Amino acid sequence: MLAQQNRGSVQLQSNYLEYLPALFRDDEFMGQFLLIFESILKPIENTVDNIALYFNPLMTPEPLLRWLASWLDLTLDPTWPEERRRQLVKSAAELYRWRGTKHGLTEYLRIYTGCMPEISEYIPGMSLNHETKLGVNTRLGSSGTGHHFTVTLELDESSKIDINTVKAIIEAQKPAHTVYTLQIRRNGRKK
């Protein structure tokens, strides 16, 4: 809004006068009349000018985060802390890319729990050390017992995670032909 000095008083005029022909730019009434429209349209213009920020999961207003997640086929758990929900939406494309892999599962669990999980895979007969003898105490391939891995989470006593959510994340992210064991340790104690 422009301010014009008229005989000792300050008159407000709309910035929209710049878009009118020169004939109307000096019209005091037109400058004040356009203030009505500018006051209505300015918030809309500001939103449009900053639209890119609404698509950034780290900056979008919290009520729009769920809407943004729906574009990525994510359902956000409202019990999760807001920063973890934002991190999940930000990482969604990368998580989909790594789905079914150790890296993808590790990253998803890290986002949810806030700690780095330990995932160990068990392959029967594949312990390699100085006593290894192929055909005697070592077999190449699987013994037919299935593909098994163990997920170990080291959590603080104050950590509030839902074990059922952890299991749902593992079930959704693991390869279909695998089985797993979940171990939760609270301050070094196995649970």
Instruction: Give the residue-averaged pLDDT of 106-110.
Output: 94
Closest CA to 159 of 190, 114, 189: 114
pLDDT of 144 above 80: no
Cβ count within 10 A of residue 128: 7
List pLDDT tens digits, range 27-66: 889 999 999 999 999 999 998 998 888 899 999 999 999 9
pLDDT of 10 above 60: no
The CA–CA distances, whole Å, from 108 to 74, 94, 104 equal 12, 10, 6
Q: Which of 12, 28, 49 is the last residue before a domain boundary? A: 49
Identify the domain containing residue 30 by its residue range.
2-49
The per-residue pLDDT for 125 is 53
Q: For residue 40, tell me if it sits in a domain.
A: yes
Q: How many domains does the chain have?
A: 2
The per-residue pLDDT for 127 is 57
Average per-residue pLDDT in the chain?
Answer: 83
